[in-house]
Amino acid sequence: MADLSLRSVKKVYDNTVVAVQSFDLEIADKEFIVLVGPSGCGKSTTLRMVAGLEEITAGEIYIAGRKVNTVPPKDRDIAMVFQNYALYPHMTVYDNIAYGLRLRKFPKRVIDQKVREAAEILDISELLKRKPKALSGGQRQRVAIGRAIVREPQVFLMDEPLSNLDAKLRNQMRSEIIKLRQKVNTTFIYVTHDQTEAMTLGDRIVIMKEGFVQQVGTPQEVFHHPANLFVAGFIGTPQMNIFDARLVREDGRCFVELGNARVQLPAEKTARLLAGGVESQPVKLGLRPEHLMLTEEDNAVYASVDVTEMMGSAVHIHLSACGQDVVVVVPLGEEEEETALPMGQPVRFTFRGSAAHLFDVESGCNLEYRQPPAPEPPPEEPAPAEEEAAPEAGEAAEASEEAIPVPAPPPGDPFTE
Ligand code: ADP
């Protein structure tokens, strides 16, 4: 059990590859934090800096109030589970879990108790006498987690622990981790590239891109209030539809125009937009597939059907509209028949103003959460770009031009003592 603090943490590999920049995060005791983002965005590097497996180039990391920048991994009271968990093939499950405790010279009775408790939590009590080769992938991963649990660490780090498992097993293990979290009262930092995993596991999610944090928030916050276009597109499945549209400001009211549709935005959204000083302007309009509605009205976007996918509880209709592909999700009631719309059929869709997400065309930042415009600075020579400066969330989407080399292969388990 411990809180963590990451302050302006930065990692540069070989003086050239900037892997993580301006990383600031306060993690509460017992919080479950998920770092998520595409491959190469700096998630593992961040986790490995917390673990002490990577030196920190700049910034500070505190665990339970203690600065750990130069504290070696084994003295950080941390356990880590990797994607490529290495079990000792010649040892039984029991011995694999007990191994670290034996090295630390725990009394036999204590080891036995801890191993059996961990096995109980992970539902592998029946497997303690087996060797790893007689286990399924999911069972092996549980043993790897068991080895970490018995250490009773202050902080539990997990680096893509499920990505070697097939889809069904991954779903199952995901719920196991939710249960595990309730039984093991500790702080978790979990790394994944899978937004579904992030949404289902995290108390808060940290979304990263190219070394920069894009947004930190609860799953609801990042889903309903994405800070920028990148987060909007990354979180949610199927992906949010993004259109070139127009925001129209008329006195105290705001409308969004897309195709033949003109939709008024609700008071709350309008107030946030006006507070940020928006004027009538072209915008990127984000609409989630489940928020588009087929309609007979004229005040709508005209489209034609490409493909209909039957998903059981919903139909995903792929349309062509405004010169692009659009996905509409239509939920199906218990009694409703699934009827495929023929390809080429003309349809229309509309949306509620409350479902509209508006982003700046240039920066990609969410116009509702933009700071009011700063007064014009006096003209002067442009300053050279400051590499250390933290970008605004919207700029971050455009930031970091560094080439992304092929990631280094994951290491073995240095916590195997
Ligand atoms: P993620 O976990 O999000 O996939 P990483 O943290 O592994 O990303 O990598 C972030 C960036 O740092 C990538 O550009 C990657 O190629 C680079 N990188 C990672 N490890 C090393 C290393 N040991 N040496 C040089 N570059 C590295």
Residue 238, preceding bond cis, omega within 30 degrees? yes
For 5, the enclosing helix (H) or strand (E) is strand 4-13
Please give the distance, rounded to the nearest whole angstrom, from the Cα atom of residue 40 to the centre of ligand 1. Answer: 5
CB 89 within 8 A of CB 131: yes
User: Among all chains, which residue has been given the structure tokens 């998630």?
Assistant: 43
CB 354 within 8 A of CB 269: yes
Burial degree of 306 (CB within 10 A; 0-12, 13-18, 19+): middle
CB 249 within 8 A of CB 279: yes
In tens, the pLDDT along 241-258 reads: 999 999 999 988 999 999
Report the atom number in ligand 1 closest to the C-alpha of 46.
6
b (16+ CB within 10 A) / e for 73-101? beebbbbbbbbebebeeeebbbbbbbbbb
Q: Is 277 in the pocket of ligand 1 (CB under 6 A)?
A: no
Please give the distance, rounded to the nearest whole angstrom, from the Cα atom of residue 201 to the centre of ligand 1. Answer: 24
In tens, the pLDDT along 134-162 reads: 998 888 888 998 998 898 899 999 999 88
What backbone torsions phi and psi does residue 85 show, to the nearest 5 degrees? -70, 130
Which candidate, 290, 30, 238, 214, places its Cα nearest to that of 222?
A: 214
Helix extents (H) in 123-266: 137-149, 167-183, 195-201, 219-224, 229-234
Q: Is 19 in the pocket of ligand 1 (CB under 6 A)?
A: yes
User: Among all chains, which residue has been given the structure tokens 């947004």?
Assistant: 215
CB 286 within 8 A of CB 357: yes
Q: Is 192 in the pocket of ligand 1 (CB under 6 A)?
A: no
Q: Is 404 in the pocket of ligand 1 (CB under 6 A)?
A: yes
Residue 72 is predicted with a pLDDT of 95
Residue 296 is predicted with a pLDDT of 93
Question: How far apart, in whole angstroms, are the C-alpha atoms of residue 220 and residue 292?
Answer: 19
Pocket-testing residue among 20, 35, 45, 158, ligand 1, by greatest number of atoms within 8 A of Cβ: 45
Sign of CA dihedral 115, 117, 123, 128: positive
Residue ID of nearest Cα to ligand 1 atom 25: 13
Residue 136 is predicted with a pLDDT of 87
Residue 47 is predicted with a pLDDT of 97
Report the atom number in ligand 1 closest to the C-alpha of 48.
6
CB 335 within 8 A of CB 247: no
Residue 250 is predicted with a pLDDT of 93
Residue 371 is predicted with a pLDDT of 65
If DSSP codes are grouped into helix, strand and coil, which group holds residue 366?
strand
Regions of the chain with pLDDT less than 50 = 381-413, 416-417
- Label the pairing between strands 66-67 and 58-63: antiparallel
Pocket-testing residue among 17, 18, 46, 401, ligand 1, by greatest number of atoms within 8 A of Cβ: 17
Residue ID of nearest Cα to ligand 1 atom 13: 40
Residue 376 is predicted with a pLDDT of 58
Question: How far apart, in whole angstroms, are the C-alpha atoms of residue 130 and residue 182?
Answer: 27
Q: Is 411 in the pocket of ligand 1 (CB under 6 A)?
A: no
User: Among all chains, which residue has been given the structure tokens 């280094």?
Assistant: 408
Q: Is 207 in the pocket of ligand 1 (CB under 6 A)?
A: no
Please give the distance, rounded to the nearest whole angstrom, from the Cα atom of residue 221 to the centre of ligand 1. Answer: 28
Residue 69 DSSP class = T
Residue 380 is predicted with a pLDDT of 52
Q: Is 282 in the pocket of ligand 1 (CB under 6 A)?
A: no
Average pLDDT, the chain: 87
Please give the distance, rounded to the nearest whole angstrom, from the Cα atom of residue 134 to the centre of ligand 1. Answer: 34
CB 198 within 8 A of CB 162: no
In tens, the pLDDT along 335-372 reads: 666 677 889 999 999 999 999 999 999 999 999 997 65
* pTM score: 0.85
